[in-house]
Amino acid sequence: MSVQKEIKKTTTRTLLDMKQKGEKIAMLTAYDFTIASILDKAGIDVLLVGDSASNVMAGHETTLPITLDQMIYHAQSVVRGVNHALVVVDLPFGSYQGNSKRALESSIRIMKESGAHAVKLEGGSEVSDSIKRITSAGIPVMGHLGLTPQSIYKFGTYTVRAKDEEEADKLRKDAIKLEQAGCFAIVLEKIPAQLAGEVSQRLTIPTIGIGAGALADGQVLVTHDFLGLNNEFSPRFLRRYLHLHDMILDAVKKYSLDVKSKDFPNNSEQY
Ligand code: KIV
């Protein structure tokens, strides 16, 4: 009889317990099997199949072009690599806005076809009906307030949101609306740290910050940024844990030299 090690799975309940205990939540994005398996093995709490795949995987300027089918493809690959983390998948632009029936149908497709555990959508009171409809089907929903990249053409800039009192007040109200609508957590992107702290204290559900300071209940980074795969994107909130861009450049140059100088492959690297 083989003894199987019990794998502790992260659930939405786990995240709520973590908030209650004051334990911070660590979340990163993932879009493929290999990276997802490494992040999961390292014990990350939540993996977000972000629509930032549109930027970092497909090379688009914004998150708008990525499709529901493409998000499902990325989500399937991530789910195959995960034993422990909660996998949350972004509903892409155009798959939920202004139509709660469509929002539910898109969420059901993600859950059924990828095996992910939850969906995420952007926006405040305007998406609360969709959140109610999706959660009433038993699908957990993560909200997203502050800088919501699917609205980039409305904002016109990627700078910090909710700096003025009017927008800060709307964000406070939206956060409460999202909690009441049934969200299990909310991403707060690029807002003042003090506002994120205030909202986090007010809510029962956890907040996950990106560029929102230390008082959020958890943190998320885009994995390509966190690993330093991209040298050009250097916002103040980003801490690079590796410098893979430069490491890969050096490795490729060395490989090319080795091939051209006939150093690779050597006798022990052939049959
Ligand atoms: O798509 C994404 O990567 C995100 C994070 C920035 C939170 O939504």
**pLDDT tens digits, residue range 108-153?**
999 999 999 999 999 999 999 999 999 999 999 999 999 999 999 9
Does 263 map to a domain?
yes
What is the set of active-site residues?
189
For ligand 1, atom 4: residue with the closest CA = 50
Give the residue from 233, 133, 119, 127 showing the smallest Cα distance to 178.
127
Does 90 map to a domain?
yes
pLDDT of residue 8: 86
The residues that bridge with 210 in the sheet, in sequence order, are 189
For 65, counting Cβ atoms within 10 Å of its Cβ (0-12 exposed, 13-18 middle, 19+ buried), the class is middle
Q: How far apart are CA 62 and CA 151, in angstroms?
A: 10
Claim to verify: residue 251 and residue 173 sit in the same structural domain: no
Residue 6 has pLDDT above 80, yes or no: no
Claim to verify: residue 103 and residue 159 sit in the same structural domain: yes
Q: What is the pLDDT of residues 153-190, one digit of tens each?
A: 999 999 999 999 999 999 999 999 999 999 999 999 99
Claim to verify: residue 177 and residue 135 sit in the same structural domain: yes
Q: For residue 52, which atom of ligand 1 is closest to its CA?
A: 1
Claim to verify: residue 163 and residue 76 sit in the same structural domain: yes
Claim to verify: residue 258 and residue 134 sit in the same structural domain: no
What's the mean pLDDT in 32-56?
A: 98
Measured in angstroms, how far is the CA atom of residue 222 from the centroid of ligand 1?
A: 7
Claim to verify: residue 203 and residue 176 sit in the same structural domain: yes
For ligand 1, atom 6: residue with the closest CA = 222
Asked if 36 and 47 count as a contact pair (C-beta separation under 8 A), the reply is: yes
Claim to verify: residue 62 and residue 44 sit in the same structural domain: yes
Question: Which residue's structure tokens are 């740290």?
Answer: 193
Claim to verify: residue 98 and residue 23 sit in the same structural domain: yes
Measured in angstroms, how far is the CA atom of residue 13 from the centroid of ligand 1?
A: 22
Measured in angstroms, how far is the CA atom of residue 189 from the centroid of ligand 1?
A: 8
Claim to verify: residue 62 and residue 195 sit in the same structural domain: yes
Q: For residue 187, which atom of ligand 1 is closest to its CA?
A: 7
Q: Which two tokens stand for residue 144?
A: 């997203």
Residues with CB under 6 A from ligand 1: 29, 48, 50-52, 90, 187, 189, 210, 220, 222
Percent of the chain with pLDDT over 70: 97
Residue 134's domain comprises 12-240
Which of 25, 27, 29, 63 has most ligand 1 atoms within 8 Å of its beta carbon, as the pocket-test mutant? 29
Q: Which two tokens stand for residue 207?
A: 């907040």
Q: For residue 149, which atom of ligand 1 is closest to its CA?
A: 8
What's the mean pLDDT in 86-94?
A: 98
Measured in angstroms, how far is the CA atom of residue 182 from the centroid of ligand 1?
A: 20
Number of domains in the chain: 2
Q: What is the pLDDT of residues 221-258, one digit of tens each?
A: 999 999 999 989 999 999 999 999 999 999 999 999 99
Residue 55 has pLDDT above 80, yes or no: yes
Measured in angstroms, how far is the CA atom of residue 48 from the centroid of ligand 1?
A: 7
pTM: predicted TM-score of the whole model, two decimal places: 0.96
Which of 78, 90, 188 has most ligand 1 atoms within 8 Å of its beta carbon, as the pocket-test mutant? 90
